[in-house]
């Protein structure tokens, strides 16, 4: 003879576990939400190459902004950011047409120090030097 309370508790725990697992799997396959609602920076670093930054607003008042920074060739599409931070405060110095130094004092969420940009049908490497001054 089975205990009816034991069956109902196991059933409820199974439903809760299944719901959490389902939500995790769905969020994993959907990937990060991106809503670039405001351009915060656009600077030419060489002929036909720009350093641009956008605010990513995915949660309205419930989730803080993130800031995504890109190196774009003229007419190129926004794809993968080389830098994602928690604040828009970055300073930059253009060292050469293929190298830029960036300083931030905020949290760095993602960073890639090499970016490849198509110029005149060839891929050109843009080196990114990142200086983080967290206090």
- The domains of the chain are located at 1-31, 36-132
Percent of the chain having pLDDT more than 90? 31
Look up the pTM and report it.
0.73
The mean of the pLDDT values for the chain is: 83
How many angstroms separate the CA atoms of 14 and 20, rounded? 10
Q: Which residues pair with 44 in a beta bridge?
A: 50
pLDDT digits over 39-90, tens only?
999 999 888 889 999 999 887 677 788 999 999 888 778 888 999 998 888 9
How many angstroms separate the CA atoms of 76 and 83, rounded? 18
Average pLDDT over residues 91-117: 90
Q: Which helix (H) or strand (E) holds 23?
A: helix 4-30
Q: Which residues pair with 46 in a beta bridge?
A: 49
More reliable by pLDDT, 93 or 10: 93
Q: Within the chain, what is the greatest distance between any pair of CA atoms?
A: 81
Q: Is the pLDDT of residue 94 over 90?
A: yes
């Amino acid at each position: 003879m089975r205990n009816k309370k034991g069956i109902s508790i196991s059933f409820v725990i199974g439903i809760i576990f299944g719901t959490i697992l389902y939500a995790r799997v769905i969020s994993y396959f959907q990937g990060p939400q991106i809503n670039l609602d405001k351009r915060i920076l656009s600077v030419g670093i060489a002929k036909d190459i720009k350093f641009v930054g956008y605010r990513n607003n995915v949660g309205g008042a419930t989730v803080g902004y993130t800031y995504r920074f890109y190196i774009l060739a003229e007419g190129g599409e926004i794809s993968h950011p080389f830098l994602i931070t928690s604040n828009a405060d970055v300073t930059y110095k253009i060292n050469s047409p293929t190298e830029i130094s960036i300083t931030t004092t905020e949290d760095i969420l993602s960073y890639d120090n090499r970016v490849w940009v198509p110029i005149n049908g060839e891929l050109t490497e843009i080196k990114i030097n990142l200086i983080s001054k967290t206090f």
